[in-house]
Structure 1
Amino acid sequence: MIFKDIIRRVACEYGLTLTDGQVEDFNTYFELLVEWNEKVNLTAITAPQDVAVKHMIDSLSCYEPSIFKKGARIIDVGTGAGFPGLPLKIFRPDLKLTLFDSLNKRILFLQAVANALGIMDINFVHSRAEDGGKNKQLREQYDIAVSRAVARLNVLCEWCLPFVAVGGFFIALKGSQYSLEVDEARGALELLGGEIVKVENVKLPGLDDVRAVIYIKKVRKTPLSYPRRPGMAEKNPL
């Protein structure tokens, strides 16, 4: 079965309807991912069914219409091969997306995908999260920060919440240890100005593994001393 048929089917199984144009865009994204993956380490997942479910649909699992308002400014921190930010942009073209990653090779791949899809209104930032969070042009400038499979939640909070404006959301896509990570992150959330408003369990088509999306609202400004210098969040989590 070709990728276009697979992505249309699994999206339908998950309860999402894709237009023909979106199916074409996801197919182009898939083809470039497989092609570039031969020279740049982007993902260990390359089988069409797995990419469709574990990357594309998993990325869309965080989509909550009441949070993703029209024209919302979104930053994907540690985007890697573009997940979840790029699938969200394909699904909702009106979103103002910034793809943020510390490895320039991945940024070059993402620029190639955006060019192939004809998407002109994406910002690309090559930087470490600790530096980006101190940048006045980025700090507290976004309605939503998203991050997937980057670090434990207490670390992610320090990296991501500084980007979010008060009243906005940090959305973390997590795996089977999400409940433990939520407990670990309570102190960090209190310190950084975040408050968990919802934890949504995720069941992807054809998979029995445990996944969840954690929605964190930014209720207060993050103290200017955060994020700390590179490496500190991982060595000494809040």
Structure 2
Amino acid sequence: MAPQRAQCRMNASREARLATYAALLRKWNPSINLIAPGTVPDLERRHLQDSAQLASLVVDPWDGLWLDIGSGGGLPGLVVAIHHPDSELLLVDSDRRKVAFLQTAIRDLGLTRCRATAGRIEDLAPASARHLSARALAPLPRLMPYLDRHLAADGTAWLMKGQNWQAELDQSEAEAQFDIRIHRSITDPAAAILQCDRKTT
């Protein structure tokens, strides 16, 4: 198959999966509150396009595990999995109802290398993750122990933060442990994605 045709088919499959995922979020949200009800009319931009920024920042497939913590409704983890279906992803959330949704979505979307599990992040065995993501989970100082526990020595964390990201960064010790690159959000000018690469000694 010609590369251009293969790329078109891949893009069509991705768009179909994103549409299916959006429909699942809308169907389940009234009973589980996966996303804020007020954001449902703007779901594609506020949530799918926002989460897809990570997939565009990590373009090529990677070796090892991508760990998404506090996955909730699968943002950004399921969106990353849709963009990178051949890579291994683990989604973790403490709410078993949300994990039931994630497992249903993973099955319906045919994401064979993605899985979801229920549990507290601090109780999860160290994951040695190549990538770790979190979206609107906790302030940066509270996230630092999770990064210490679950990132591989050469791992990268992708932390999706709101308008207070600079204050959180100033209040944490992240810059002592990580080389941090700031990516301004394309969906919210006040928000940012913090790319945290472990410093090598």
* TM-score between both structures, scaled by the size of structure 2: 0.86
Distance 2:115 2:86 in 1: 14
Cα distance, 1:75–1:163 mapped onto 2, change above 3 Å: same
2:92 maps to 1:79? no
Give the 3-state SS of the residue equivalent to 1:30 in structure 2: helix
The residue aligned with 1:7 is: none
1:54, CA displacement in angstroms?
A: 1.0
Q: CA offset at residue 189 of structure 1?
A: 5.7
1:210 matched to 2:190? yes
The number of equivalent residue pairs is 189
Tell me the secondary structure at the aligned position of residue 146 of structure 2.
helix
Give the structure 2 partner of residue 8 of structure 1.
none
Name 2:3's counterpart in structure 1. Answer: none
Match of 2:4 in 1: none
The answer as to 2:179 corresponding to 1:196 is: yes
Instruction: Point out where structure 1 has 5 or more consecutive residues left out of the alignment.
Output: 1-17, 222-238
Distance 2:118 2:148 in 1: 18
Segments of structure 2 that go 5 or more residues without pairing to the other structure are 1-9
Q: CA deviation at 1:211?
A: 1.1
CA RMSD of aligned residues (A): 2.0
Deviation at 1:83, TM superposition (A): 0.5
Q: What SS does the corresponding residue of 2:157 show, helix, strand or coil? A: strand
The answer to which of 34-43 and 108-117 deviates more is 34-43
Q: 2:151 aligns with which of 164, 179, 183?
A: 164
Deviation at 1:61, TM superposition (A): 1.6
CA contact (8 A) 1:153 1:185 kept: yes
Equivalent position of 2:47 in the other structure:
55
Deviation at 1:164, TM superposition (A): 0.7
- Give a deviation string over 1:175-234, Cα, whole Å, max 9, x none: 111111111112x564xxx31330111122xx5x4110101112379xxxxxxxxxxxxx
Which structure has greater helix proportion? 2
Match for 1:25 among 17, 27, 44?
Answer: 17
Q: Which amino acid aligns with 1:154?
A: P
Q: Distance in 1 between matches of 2:175 and 2:90?
A: 23
Q: Is the 8 A contact 2:66 2:132 kept in 1?
A: yes
1:180 aligns with 2:167: yes
CA offset digits 1:18-39 (Å, max 9, x no partner) = 8111111011101111111121
1:141–1:164 CA contact under 8 A, matched in 2? yes
Residues of 1 paired with 2:111 and 2:178: CA distance? Answer: 33
Q: Which amino acid aligns with 2:172?
A: A
Distance 1:161 1:123 in 2: 22
Task: Determine the C-alpha separation between the residues in 1 that align with 2:185 and 2:165.
Answer: 11
| 2:54 aligned counterpart, secondary structure | coil
